[in-house]
């Protein structure tokens, strides 16, 4: 064996490493569980194939009938665009609980990941999923759960970390392109993965402290113009005022290096001329996506209940 094959050319531990011979090793976010009926909540889930590139896991509450139309929440998983899947046990647990608490239908989108499929692949896949979902608004497309249970007048996008980035950017696409079949009431951004060239007040300023996130963006989106790219820094987006929803809820965590980006998002959105309502919820003593790894602690339960309240407001 050539010893040089073990040379690491891209090191993003604890997410992944890429070796000189092209091998990719993901340290987390690769576990999956089958769709099921959750014994704790009674929530039903099933998987659907949208296209050769895109799949999704659908969730409905324990007791639902075709006469009852449920708010529809489209969820985008996190993982820095490089790890994670809609079929992860972390998301299965989280979304079972959310569906039971909020009495909503969820479509959790599984998109392609970098580096095998660099951005904009995840954005394109997410938009393809949204078009497929919206096609059911006429109640004549092939997925019966969407035809029977989804209230397309009460549509939400949500996600954590990179998934929150996707949720925001999909709302921008809806607002600027105004496609048929979309009436996005709100978006929920949990610990959103936004970044930028200039450090914000409260962020680390030392190059070595910012290096990981600086490098990660150009790694997942080689075609980027840099850290001023509107896809990662919404403050650089001239279309921000066209955000295609009425309400936004942002969650930030006190120990999260991305906390200031979530707060800054509210600030620039308020100043952009967008006419909706934006709310920030801070969990002071927690870190990035804590609710996925510790779903039963009080702060995680409170986060899910806040999302449920937002969707049913």
141-145, 187-191, 302-306 — which is least confidently predicted? 141-145
pLDDT at residue 3, as a whole number = 42
How distant is the alpha carbon of residue 61 from its chain centre? Answer: 21
Contact 62, 100 (CB under 8 A): yes
pLDDT at residue 270, as a whole number = 97
The CATH class, in words, for 31-311 is: alpha beta
pLDDT at residue 5, as a whole number = 56
Rounded average pLDDT over 188-202: 97
pLDDT at residue 181, as a whole number = 82
Contact 215, 231 (CB under 8 A): no
Annotated catalytic residue within 161, 191, 235, 291? 161
Q: Is the pLDDT score of 210 beyond 90?
A: yes
Q: Where are the domains of the chain?
A: 31-311
256 counts as catalytic: yes
Annotated catalytic residue within 44, 77, 256, 291? 256
Q: Residue 12 belongs to what H/E stretch?
A: strand 8-12
As a whole number of angstroms, the distance between CA 112 and CA 121 comes to: 6
pLDDT at residue 4, as a whole number = 46
3 state DSSP class of 261: helix
110 counts as catalytic: no
Rounded average pLDDT over 18-26: 96
Decide: pTM greater than 0.85: yes
pLDDT at residue 141, as a whole number = 84
Rounded average pLDDT over 8-36: 97
User: Mean pLDDT for the chain?
Assistant: 96
pLDDT at residue 140, as a whole number = 79
Q: Is the pLDDT score of 155 beyond 80?
A: yes
288 counts as catalytic: yes
Rounded average pLDDT over 189-201: 97
289 exposed, middle or buried (CB, 10 Å; 0-12, 13-18, 19+)?
buried
pLDDT in tens, 39-89: 999 999 999 999 999 999 999 999 887 778 999 999 999 999 999 999 999
């Amino acid at each position: 064996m050539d010893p040089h094959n073990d040379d690491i050319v891209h090191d993003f531990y604890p997410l992944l490493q890429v070796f000189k011979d092209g091998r990719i090793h993901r340290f987390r976010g690769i576990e999956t569980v089958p769709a099921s009926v959750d014994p704790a909540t009674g929530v039903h889930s099933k998987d659907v194939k949208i296209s050769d590139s895109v799949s999704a896991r659908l969730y409905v509450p324990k007791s639902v009938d075709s006469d009852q139309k449920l708010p529809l929440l489209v969820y985008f998983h996190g993982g820095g665009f490089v790890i994670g899947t809609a079929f992860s046990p972390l998301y299965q647990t989280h979304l079972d609980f959310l569906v039971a608490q909020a009495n909503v239908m969820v479509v959790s989108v599984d998109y392609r990941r970098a580096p095998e499929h660099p951005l904009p692949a995840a954005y394109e896949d997410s938009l393809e999923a949204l078009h497929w979902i919206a096609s059911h608004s006429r109640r004549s497309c092939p997925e019966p759960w969407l035809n029977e249970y989804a209230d397309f007048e009460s549509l939400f996008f949500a996600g954590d970390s990179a998934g929150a980035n996707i949720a925001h950017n999909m709302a921008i696409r809806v607002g600027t392109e105004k496609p048929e079949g979309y009436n996005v009431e709100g978006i929920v951004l949990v610990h959103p993965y936004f970044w930028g060239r200039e450090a914000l007040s409260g962020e680390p300023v030392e190059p070595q402290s910012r290096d990981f996130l600086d490098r990660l963006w150009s790694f997942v989106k080689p075609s980027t113009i840099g850290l001023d790219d509107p896809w990662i820094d919404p403050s650089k987006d001239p279309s921000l005022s066209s955000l295609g929803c009425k309400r936004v809820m942002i969650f930030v965590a006190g120990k999260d290096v991305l906390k200031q980006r979530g707060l800054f998002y509210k600030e620039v959105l308020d100043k952009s001329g967008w006419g909706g309502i934006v709310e920030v919820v801070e969990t002071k003593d927690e870190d990035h996506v804590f609710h996925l790894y510790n779903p039963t602690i009080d702060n995680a339960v409170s986060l899910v209940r806040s999302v449920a309240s937002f969707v049913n407001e």
